[in-house]
Chain A
Amino acid sequence: AQTVTQSQPEMSVQEAETVTLSCTYDTSESDYYLFWYKQPPSRQMILVIRQEAYKQQNATENRFSVNFQKAAKSFSLKISDSQLGDAAMYFCAYRSMGQFYFGTGTSLTVIP
């Protein structure tokens, strides 16, 4: 069965600094996608970034990038130049075919 693990329930970062959120997953499949979602206090779930498993190149979206290690089944999110608006709950998710699997989330605090 596919599982997604986020081992850091809470993280904090100083404004303008860099923080990395961890995510590992377990699967026996070779074709899948990975996603990071952000959930701010408004509760709206927002896609931050996605990674295709067959691509070795790490995805990047502005200040957000991932470190995808397929063999290790690791998919961490790096936030550079952290801003106050980055404070949120972050969820890692795995998709294969129609099914999605979410981690338990990491609550990120940004310290001014």
Chain B
Amino acid sequence: DAGVIQSPRHEVTEMGQEVTLRCKPISGHDYLFWYRQTMMRGLELLIYFNNNVPIDDSGMPEDRFSAKMPNASFSTLKIQPSEPRDSAVYFCASTFGGSSYNEQFFGPGTRLTVL
């Protein structure tokens, strides 16, 4: 398996622009997570899905952030409009919920820079 795939790997944009981050989880995994990592705040859970349904979005910073999972093999995290404080590394991770034994598998992350 190719692992969790994220695109783009790097994104540089200007304040006010819309940013869309993409994630393809590992086939067969039924949980998908979006995280944001910064030096100041560490690793923050933004939202997670189970069987394509958002379960907990309490970590989404504000209405500028939205996430969707239209099917089991694809998810997006959108920021509109983007702000410089959104600059961070965004990780997508997936796991199989059949047992708590299963770890999360992380994608390589998307480094977002908002100028």
Binding site for B on A (CB under 8 A): 31-33, 35, 43-45, 47, 50, 52, 91, 93, 95-100, 102, 104-105
Chain B residues, CB < 8 A from A52: 101
Are B108 and A98 touching (Cβ within 8 A)? no
Cβ contacts A to B, 24 pairs, < 8 Å: A33-B100, A33-B101, A35-B103, A43-B111, A44-B106, A45-B104, A50-B103, A52-B101, A93-B104, A95-B100, A95-B103, A95-B104, A97-B100, A98-B31, A98-B48, A98-B50, A98-B55, A98-B97, A99-B56, A100-B45, A100-B104, A104-B42, A105-B42, A105-B43
| Interface footprint category on B | 20 to 34
Chain A residues, CB < 8 A from B109: 43-44
What is the minimal beta-carbon distance from B35 to any residue of chain A, in angstroms?
8
A45 to B43, CA, bound (A): 11
Chain B residues, CB < 8 A from A44: 106, 108-109
What is the minimal beta-carbon distance from B25 to any residue of chain A, in angstroms?
14
Encode B80-106 as 1/0 by CB contact (under 8 A) with A.
Answer: 000000000101010101001101101
Cβ of B34 under 8 Å from chain A: no
A33-B100, A99-B48 provided; 6 other pairs, C-beta below 8 A? A50-B103, A96-B100, A98-B48, A99-B56, A100-B33, A100-B95
Instruction: Name B51-85 residues within 8 Å CB distance of A.
Output: 55-56
Chain B residues, CB < 8 A from A31: 100
| Residue of chain A at shortest CB distance from B101 | A33
What is the minimal beta-carbon distance from A58 to any residue of chain B, in angstroms?
16
A50 to B95, CA, bound (A): 14
| Residue of chain A at shortest CB distance from B50 | A98
| Residue of chain B at shortest CB distance from A32 | B100
